[in-house]
Chain A
Amino acid sequence: MANVKIPDSVLVGPEGTKLKAWGSSKELSAVGKPRPKIGAQEKVTGSAIYAYDVQLPRMLYAAVLSSDRAHARIAALDTRKAEALPGVRAVLTYKNIEPVKWEQEGNILRDTVGYVGEPVAAVAAETEEIAYDAIHLIAVKYDPLPSVIEPLDAMKPGAPQLQKAGNVWQGKPVIYKRGDVEKGLKEADIVYEQTYTTSVQHHTTMELHGCVVQWDRDGLTVWDSAQGVNQVRDQLASRFNLPVNKVRVICKYVGGGFGSKNSAKHYHGLAALLSKRTGRPVKLFNTREDEFPVSRHRPKTIQTLKAGVKKDGTLVALYHKAIGQCGPYLDGAALGARATGDGTKSLYLCPNLMTEAYSVHTNTPLLAPTRGPGDTENLFALEQFIDELAEKVGINPLEFRKKNYAEVDQPHDNHHYSSKGLDRCYDMAAKAFGWGQKAKASAPHKKRGIGMSSLIWHGNRTEKSQAGVIIQPDGTAEVVAGIASLGVGAETIFTQIAAEELGMKMESVGIRWGDSSSTPYTINTSSGSRTTAIAGPAVRAAAADARHKLLKAAARLLGIKPTEIATLSIKDGVISTGDQSKKISVAEVARKQGRELIIGTGHRPPNPEDMAIEIFGAQFVEVEVDEQIGEVKVLRAVTAIDCGRWINPLLAESQIQGGFIQGMGMALSEERIMDSRNGIQLNANLHEYGMPTSLDVPDTNLALDPEVIDASNNINAKGLGEPPLVGAGAAIANAIYNATDIRVRDYPITPNRIVQALKERSSGTRQG
C-alpha cells in the first residue's frame, strides 16, 4: 500500500496551493500517534458536564406517561388529579397541546397510540418526585385497536393494516439484482439454503436520553445528549418554525449514543413545549424502563440465504431475502430493510445475485440506527452462511473467502476501491491469532472452537463539511468544530490533524466544540462512522488555510516576497526558510498580529467520483462451550480493520475492543423479550436485557492496523466506529460450530439455545 496515488482533487489547498500527500504515519509527527483524549481530566474527576448533570435556576423536572397498549385509541384521559397536585406546573396531552407536526402521523401527542412506550402525556413540576407522582395520577382509558406484533403475522392476509401502503414498508420489498440468479443456481454444482434470525439490539446508552430546554423570548436553548448539535438545532428550528439563529444546542459530552441519539425526538419536543408553557427551564430525561422503547433499537430480522457454488468453491449465485421488523410509523422504517446490505452485494465476487428486503410495520417501538445498522444484521447471517458453504465444498473457511475475493465494487459500476486492505487483514489477523490451532479445552464437558468472519461497512458519500482554525494572540491554535463528543475521540484527532498541518506541537493545539451557536457546520450528526472521514479533511483544510495566512504574515515580517512563501516551512512552532537563514516563531507572528487574529477556514473537497469507498476487516475468535450448561465463553478475539489511516492508534484500539464486545453481546446474550400478544417488553431493564459485563470480556482482545493509506480524502481515513461490531457475531457462531458441531442460526446464541440444540442432536431430531 506504499505507493497509493492520492488524487489532486482531494488535496486542494488555499489560494491555488496543493496540500502535501501524507506518507506513512511513521513519517508524521502528530497524526498516527497514540494520544490520550482531550477532556480526560474532566472525565476521571467527575467534573465533565453531561446534559443529565445540568441544573439551572428555576428549572422544572418533567416526566412522561407512556402507553401500555400496543394499539389503541384514547377514550378517556383524566388529568385533574395530576394538575391539582401541589408543585405541578403543566400537564400536556393531545387535548391541550399546540399543533406541532412531529412525524408523518401528525402531532407530537395524538389520541391514538401505536406501540407500548409511545408518549401519552407529559408533566412539568417543581421536583422530579412531584413530576412522577403526577404521572401516576393521570388516568387513561383506552379503546383497543387491532394490533400485530410479529412481522410474519403482519405479512399474513387479514392482518390489521398499519399503513396505507400495507404492512410492508412502501408496499413492496427493496430489490437489487445483477446477472441471473436462477441461471447461476443451475450452473452450480452445489445449491445450499439456510435461514437465520437476529434479535433486537438496544443501544442501552449509560446516559439516558433526554435534555434540558429553556424557551423564552430570546429563543430556544437545549442542553442535549445528542450525537450532533447541528442536526437537532435544524430539526427543532424547522418543527417549531423558529429562525435557526434563535435555536442553540449545547452538547459537549454525550454518555453514549451508538445511533440512538441522532435527530430531535419526542422528548425534545415535549420538553420544549413544557418550557414554552411554563416560562421555566425544563429537564426531561427518560426513566430506564421507558428508555427501552423510547430510545429505539436495531430491528430483529429473519433472513434466508441461498447460494450456488462450483466444486472448486467458486460462488456463482447468491440470493438473500431479509424481513426486518419496524414500528407502525414511517419514521425509522427504512432501517428494517437494510439487512441485505454491502455484505451480500459487495463482499464476494458473484455474477448472479439478487436481494429482497422487507421492512414490516408492527405495533412495536420505532427503529433507530444501531451501531453498524444493516451491515451487522447482514453479516451475522451471511458470514455464518459462507462458513457453511465452505464446509459443503470442503475448503477452509478463510481460503473460501479469499477464493471469492472481490477486487472491485460490484454494485457500484465495478469501481475500484479507494483502498481495500481486506486481504492484509485476513493475513495479519490469521497470523496473530494462530488460525488453525485449537487449544485443549479445560474440562471433558467443555469444547473449544475457532471461527472467523469478514466485515464490511459502507464508506462515506460526499458531504459538505466546514471547520475553522484560529491562531490566538499567544501563538496557540484552536480548532473550532461543530460536533458533539461521543467519547470516541473525534475532537482529539482533529487537534492531531491540525497540529500536523500547522507544524505545531500537539500541546499547542486546542479545540472548541459542542455548541451550535459558536461553531461552524462541521457535521449534522456523528453517525455512520463518518465524523473522521467527513470532518477530518475540513479540519485539515482549515489548518492549511491558517498555515497559509501565518506564512504570509511571517513573510512580511521576515522581508520575504509573498510569491516566495512556498520556501517557508513550520516545524515545532517555528517558521523558517529552507536554508534556516531566516526564522520566526508562530508565537511571535501571532503576537504581532495582536487582535487581528489569523482565522483559517476550510471545507471538505468532494470524494473522487470514480472510487468506491468501503471499510473492511477480519475478526477471529476462540470460544469454549460448556456442553452441560450451554455457556459460551469467548477466550480470545483478534480484529484487523482497514479503515484507512489510524489517526490515533490508542483510540482506535478502544473502538475495536469495545465494538467487538458489543457485537459479542448481540451474538450471545442481548435480546428483547416481548410478549407477542400485547407488545409489552418483558426485560426492559439492564439486568435482564443481558449486555456483557467485565466477567464476559476476553483477556485477549487484539486490534491490528493493516496500515492502509486510503485515497479518498486528504487524511486517508475511512471511519472506524461501527465496523468492529459487524463481524463479531458470525465469527463467534462459527467458532461455536467448530467446537460443538452445532449450528445455532438464531441469535443470540444463549445457553438455552445451545442446550436445546445439543438435546435435539442427541435425540436425532437435528442435523448440523
Chain B
Amino acid sequence: MRKNIDDTLKPHPAVKSSEEGSLSQGLAARFSRRGFLKGLGSSVIVTAAASTGLVSTPKVEAYVPPVGEGLQTRALRLKVNGLLYRLEVEPRRSLADVLRKELGLTGTKISCNRAECGACTVIMNGKTVYSCTTLAVRANGKEITTVEGLAQGNKLHPIQEAFIESDAYQCGFCTPGVLVACKALLDRNPRPTRAEIKLALSGNLCRCAAYNHIFAAVEAAAKKL
C-alpha cells in the first residue's frame, strides 16, 4: 500500500506556524518517526540488579548521558534473558534502543526502525515483537528474550547450531532477529511445514537472501528438538 504523499509532506510539528512557507524543514524532519515521538523526554539510566536464579547476577551499570533540560523519565522494570533490570528512561525510547544502549545487548539490531524488517525481533511474554516500534515503557514488567538469551551458557540452541551447519546467514545482521523468530516458531510449533516456516519468517527481511538455507536450518533444528 502506497503512503499518501500529501500526508507525509505535512510540516513537522516542530515547525512553528510562523516559519511555514518561509523556511522549510529537511526531509529528516518530515519523515522521521523520532519526530513523531518527540517531546516526551530524555534519557537516564540507573543500575540493574536481581536475578531469577540462573547464574550469579552481574550488576549492569551503563554510561549515563546528560539529560536535556526539562525532559522527563519513567521508571522501568525489564526481565531480559532471565535477568531483572531496573532502569529509568525517556518515555519516547524504543525497547530496541534501550536493550542496545543501556543493557549492552547489541545482538538485537535496528535496521528500518519502523517495523518493516524484523532485525529487532525479540520475544516478549512468549510472542515475537518488533522492539524498534515497541516503546520501552510498554515492555515494563514483561519478560523479554533476545538473541543473547537463546544459548544456555556455552550450549547453543539447536536452531543456532543448525544455522551454523547450514550456513543460514551471510552478513549476519538480520540473523539475530531471524533466529529469535525461528525460536518462537519452534516453541509453538515444533514440527513446522515449509509453508509455516515461510509465513513465520515473512516479517524478517534478509537482504543477502539466505532464505533457502534458513528454511533448511529450521527443518534440521526441528528434527533435533
A: which residues have CB within 8 A of B? 36-37, 39-41, 43-50, 52-53, 55, 57, 63-68, 76, 78, 85-87, 116-117, 120, 126-130, 132-133, 135-142, 203-208, 253-258, 287-290, 486-489, 650-651, 653-655, 657-662, 673, 675, 680, 682-688, 691-695, 697, 699, 701
Contacts and interface: CB of A to CB of B under 8 A. Distances in A.
A140 B108 CA distance: 36
Contacts of A253: 171-172
A726 to B, nearest CB: 15
A390 to B, nearest CB: 30
Contacts of A290: 27-28
B27 A117 contact: yes
12 contacts: A37-B164, A45-B150, A57-B63, A126-B66, A127-B43, A132-B38, A139-B23, A203-B207, A205-B207, A254-B171, A654-B208, A673-B2
B164 A694 contact: no
Nearest to A35: B167
A57 B64 CA distance: 10
A141 to B, nearest CB: 5
A86 B70 CA distance: 10
Contacts of A126: 65-66
A256 B205 CA distance: 12
Nearest to B199: A695
Interface of B: 1-3, 5, 12, 14, 19, 22-32, 34-35, 38, 42-43, 63, 65-66, 68-69, 90, 92-93, 97, 100-101, 104-114, 116-117, 119, 146-148, 150-151, 156, 160, 163-165, 167, 169-176, 179, 194, 197-199, 201-202, 204-215
The residue in A44, A657, A682 that gathers the most chain B C-beta atoms within 10 A of its C-beta is A44
B3 A662 contact: no
Given A45-B151, A136-B29, A206-B206, A78 B23 contact: yes
Nearest to B179: A44
B170 to A, nearest CB: 4
Given A289-B31, A486-B171, A44 B160 contact: yes
Contacts of B100: 53
A67 B215 CA distance: 42
Given A487-B172, A657-B211, 14 more contacts: A46-B105, A52-B109, A65-B26, A86-B69, A129-B93, A132-B38, A136-B14, A142-B24, A206-B111, A255-B111, A256-B170, A659-B209, A688-B2, A695-B202
A43 B43 CA distance: 29
Contacts of B26: 65-68, 120, 135, 138, 140
Given A658-B210, A695-B198, A206 B109 contact: yes
Closest 5 CB pairs of A and B: A46-B107, A255-B173, A487-B171, A661-B209, A43-B172
Contact of A139 (B25, B27, B108, B164): B25
Contacts of B199: 694-695
Contacts of B172: 39, 43, 48, 253, 255, 487
B209 A658 contact: yes
B30 to A, nearest CB: 7
Nearest to A131: B34
A127 B90 CA distance: 11
Contact of A682 (B2, B32, B201): B2
Given A130-B68, A132-B34, A45 B160 contact: yes
A391 B215 CA distance: 38
Nearest to B30: A68
Contact of A651 (B63, B108, B151, B167): B167
Given A694-B204, A695-B198, A206 B23 contact: no
Given A63-B28, A136-B35, A76 B23 contact: yes
Contacts of B207: 203-206, 256, 258, 662, 691
Contacts of B201: 694
A545 B48 CA distance: 53
Given A287-B113, A694-B198, A697-B212, A129 B106 contact: no
Nearest to A650: B167
The residue in B26, B164, B215 that gathers the most chain A C-beta atoms within 10 A of its C-beta is B26
Given A45-B148, A117-B27, A682-B5, A206 B116 contact: no
Nearest to B161: A44
Contacts of B174: 206
Contact of A697 (B14, B93, B198): B198
Nearest to A661: B209
The residue in B31, B93, B211 that gathers the most chain A C-beta atoms within 10 A of its C-beta is B211
Given A136-B14, A204-B207, A688-B2, A256 B171 contact: yes
A693 B204 CA distance: 7
A258 B170 CA distance: 12
Contacts of A139: 19, 23-25
B66 A256 contact: no
A289 B28 contact: yes
The residue in A40, A129, A137 that gathers the most chain B C-beta atoms within 10 A of its C-beta is A129
A41 B210 contact: no
Contacts of A36: 164-165, 167
Contact of A487 (B19, B90, B170, B179): B170
A500 B108 CA distance: 37
Nearest to B8: A682
Contacts of B209: 657-662, 692, 697
A136 B24 contact: no
A721 to B, nearest CB: 10
A27 to B, nearest CB: 24
A45 B207 CA distance: 20
A686 B156 contact: no
Nearest to B66: A126
A636 to B, nearest CB: 12
B164 A287 contact: no
Contacts of B101: 55
The residue in A50, A86, A654 that gathers the most chain B C-beta atoms within 10 A of its C-beta is A654
Given A36-B167, A140-B26, A289-B27, A87 B68 contact: yes
A137 B35 CA distance: 11
A496 to B, nearest CB: 14
A488 B22 CA distance: 50
B112 to A, nearest CB: 5
The residue in A46, A141, A204 that gathers the most chain B C-beta atoms within 10 A of its C-beta is A46
B108 A46 contact: yes
Given A43-B175, A45-B147, A141 B111 contact: no
Given A685-B116, A686-B116, A657 B173 contact: no
Given A45-B156, A136-B29, A654 B106 contact: no
B65 to A, nearest CB: 5
A129 B112 contact: no
A71 B164 CA distance: 49
A68 B19 CA distance: 16
A288 B111 contact: yes
Given A135-B26, A256-B207, A41 B164 contact: yes
A46 B106 contact: yes
A489 B164 CA distance: 13
B65 A127 contact: yes
Contact of B109 (A39, A207, A662, A691): A207
Contacts of B210: 654, 657-658
Nearest to A130: B68
B146 to A, nearest CB: 7
B50 to A, nearest CB: 23
B113 A288 contact: yes
Contacts of A64: 28
Nearest to A255: B173
A657 B213 contact: yes
Contacts of A686: 111-112, 116-117, 205
Contact of A129 (B28, B42, B160, B205): B42
Contacts of B146: 46
A683 B2 contact: yes
A288 B114 contact: yes
B209 to A, nearest CB: 4
Contacts of A49: 106
